Amino acid sequence: MSSTATATEHAASLKPEGPPPVAHPRKPALALPAGACDSHCHIYGPFDRFPLPVDRSFTPNEAPETALRRMHEAVGISRAVIVQSQGHGFDHRPLLDALASGQGRYRGVALVRPDTPPEEIARLAKAGICGSRFNFMAHLTGRLSPEAITAAIRLIRPHGWHTEIHVSGRQLVEEESFIRNIETPVVIDHMARLDIAEGPDGPVASALKRLLDTGRVWVKLSGPERLSKAGKPFSDVVPLASGLARHAPERVLWGSDWPHVNLHGPMPDDGDLVDFIGAIVPDEANRRLLLVDNPTRFFGFA
């Protein structure tokens, strides 16, 4: 194969799957409290320093920490939790670089396997990692069995990390008993990505509330753009998200999910996502719980 053909194939393999995030989000109408935290976001690249792995699940647009910071400054966010994505796989260098440059602004969530060396986990913990994410999603590689997840959790537990669970809809009901028995604090991503046609009291929402009632499980009120069938301002997601916020106001978190990879639909404006917070948590005191107090406690911000 010629070098020209190889270069062409390499360029094609880097074609992003989907549009980039909105470069200049509008200023939200909702003013966020000082210390507001984006509890779920990702970064990708810069690719000249941190190339994507060959065995990645998907190809994201370049979305480095500098672009994430610009978005946060535009909408009024001062802290964030950066979640390692299958886009970079188990190469944590971009995340570690962001944690170092953030100087306390960020915490991180890693990807861990049962064969991850304990000394590597200790190194990640020292850098500002505070949890590990495990996915049950069919479209993502790296899915572990419950037994393997349990073995990995044994490695992270001595460091006080939390366990982050990424499930889709009815998977939460299927895994409810397993999640209930995890021996670390647990957070469920994106309101379990349930089908909102089930309603705010459907089987998945009910399972979420039962897990919240254990006192050891939190939920991220993120991803309305993924759940909504009507589009912005995501009003059809409000009954679900506001119901969860009222049910356990001290165990809910909010995240932008920037830069919104693998999204099948229009790219959301992050200003709209911030204004969604006002629709689901209209009370100022409870918004402070959601955006400041809960993430400070859960992720261990100083």
Residues with a known catalytic role? 257
Helix, strand, or coil (residue 203): helix
Q: What does R_g of the chain's alpha carbons equal in angstroms?
A: 18
Q: DSSP states of 207-250 as a string?
A: HHHHHHTTTSEEEE---HHHH-SS-TT-GGGHHHHHHHHHH-GG
Beta-strand runs (E) in the chain:
37-41, 79-83, 106-110, 129-135, 162-166, 186-188, 217-220, 252-253
Which residues, 6 or more positions from 52, have their beta carbon under 8 angstroms from its beta carbon? 14, 44, 59, 60, 87, 88
Q: Is the peptide bond before 46 cis (omega within 30 degrees of 0)?
A: yes
Alpha-carbon distance 49 to 28, whole Å?
33
Region for 76 from its dihedrals, namely left if φ exceeds 0, alpha if ψ lies in -120 to 50, beta otherwise: left
CA 39 to chain centre: 7
Tokens standing for 154?
């044994």
Alpha-carbon distance 196 to 213, whole Å?
21
Alpha-carbon distance 213 to 141, whole Å?
31
Q: How many CB atoms lie within 10 A of CB 250?
A: 14
SS (H, E, C) 172-190: HHHCHHHHHCCCCCEEEHH
- Amino acid letter for position 39: S
